Amino acid sequence: MAVFSTCLLVLLAVTATSASCNPNAATTRREWGSLHPAQRTEYIDAILCLRHRPSVIPSSQYPGVRDRLDDFVATHINYTSRIHDNALLLPWHRHFLFLWERTLQDECGYTGGVPYWNWSLATSNLSASPIFDGTNTSLSGNGAFDPAACDGHCNPGGSGGGCVTSGPFKDYQVHLGPFNNSDAEPHKPPPLHAFDYNPRCLQRDFNPQYLAQYNNATVLEQLRAATDIDAFLTLMDPSREGVTGAHGGGHRAVGGAMSDVYSSPQDPSFMLHHGMADRMWALWQGGDMETRREALNGTAVMHDEPGGTLVTPDFVTEFGVLDRPRTVRELMDPMRYDYCYRYE
């Protein structure tokens, strides 16, 4: 008994200091196409459930925030110019996804992990992908062809532009935006009227060309083979140079609401897209965890302009009403601190 207790104490001490979770207890995140139809339906229902729950952000101050899902959208809008095209992109969105997953579980009884979207499965035809095929176990399909109706973010050559016409989000209303991506500049607060109520349909504008170019199987291999975080970010998010990478490619390939840098979390595919970005980061880190766990390169300023303060593990980043502020260190390992998830 004494031996047993000692073991237990040692075990607890080890757990507390390394703050590492038991891999057998980890939440598993799976590719949408590998989910059973009932699991897909469970995820869809959980999203719809959030829309029937009250927001924490007060609608009186933020009129466009009408439900619990809008808390996530408005938080993302609020921090847009601090968390994109820079060193915080990956850690901040990793935590955003984690908070989303936990909220679906805690408030809507969802039992799975947040699914992800393997981009290279759909590089030629998004409408043929189980995420976007428009069936009732998809996240709805393309927008109706309407080149004039694309929320100011028209994809050249896009095949939709208008409201989604099929699937579970056919009658879905988004509440916030649209925004002009040009307003997202270093040090700028959210634009005036950023939180106005503007109910309208979910728009999409599929253009798989972006996936073929920026998210193809070769790119996925190159991401895993990147020799340092700088090389990884050059493929994932080279926006410091004003060009698209795998992160931007997924956003633009779906188009419509997903092309809006501020309010793209309104598209239900946002979390799956960022799940894949997070997965590629985790896979890369896992290739050499000890040296890559805290690998960071860049600032907390949009576009990573030269001269900005570099983000270190001690840097503190905010999540509004969704969570307390976090050090970046807490967001670097899927198996440490509050995290306990893995990708299949």
Ligand X SMILES: *[C@@H]1O[C@H](CO)[C@@H](O)[C@H](O)[C@H]1NC(C)=O
* Contact status: 297 vs ligand X (CB under 6 A): yes
* Contact status: 320 vs ligand X (CB under 6 A): yes
- Here's the x/- map for ligand X, 143-182, by CB under 6 A: it reads as ---------x---------------------------x-x
- Here's the x/- map for ligand X, 77-106, by CB under 6 A: it reads as -x----------------------------
* Contact status: 20 vs ligand X (CB under 6 A): no
Nearer to ligand X, 27 or 207 (CB): 207
* Contact status: 35 vs ligand X (CB under 6 A): no
Residues 183-222 that bind ligand X (CB under 6 A): 212-214, 216, 218-220
Among 27, 55, 75, 269, indicate the residue that binds ligand X (CB under 6 A). 75
Asked if 33 and 131 count as a contact pair (C-beta separation under 8 A), the reply is yes
The Cα–Cα gap between 208 and 141 comes to 13
- Tokens (6 digits) for 240: 């410091």
User: What are residue 20's phi and psi, to 5 degrees?
Assistant: -105, 140
* Contact status: 299 vs ligand X (CB under 6 A): no
The Cα–Cα gap between 206 and 154 comes to 10
User: What are residue 204's phi and psi, to 5 degrees?
Assistant: -140, 160
* Contact status: 57 vs ligand X (CB under 6 A): yes
Tell me which residue of 297, 322, 162 sits closest to 231, measured CA to CA.
297
The Cα–Cα gap between 217 and 343 comes to 18
Q: How many helices (H) and strands (E) does the chain have?
A: 10, 8
* Contact status: 139 vs ligand X (CB under 6 A): no
Which SS3 state, helix, strand or coil, does residue 151 take? coil
Size of the site for ligand X (CB under 6 A): 27
Segment interacting with ligand X, rule: CB under 6 A, options 47-55, 108-116, 125-133, 329-337: 125-133
Which SS3 state, helix, strand or coil, does residue 272 take? helix
How many of the other CB atoms lie within 10 Å of CB of 336? Answer: 16
Among 46, 50, 74, 236, indicate the residue that binds ligand X (CB under 6 A). 74
Which residues contact residue 5 at a Cβ distance below 8 angstroms, ignoring those fewer than 6 apart?
none
- Enumerate binding residues for ligand X (CB under 6 A): 57, 62, 74-75, 78, 118, 120-121, 125, 127-128, 136, 152, 180, 182, 212-214, 216, 218-220, 228, 230, 297, 318, 320
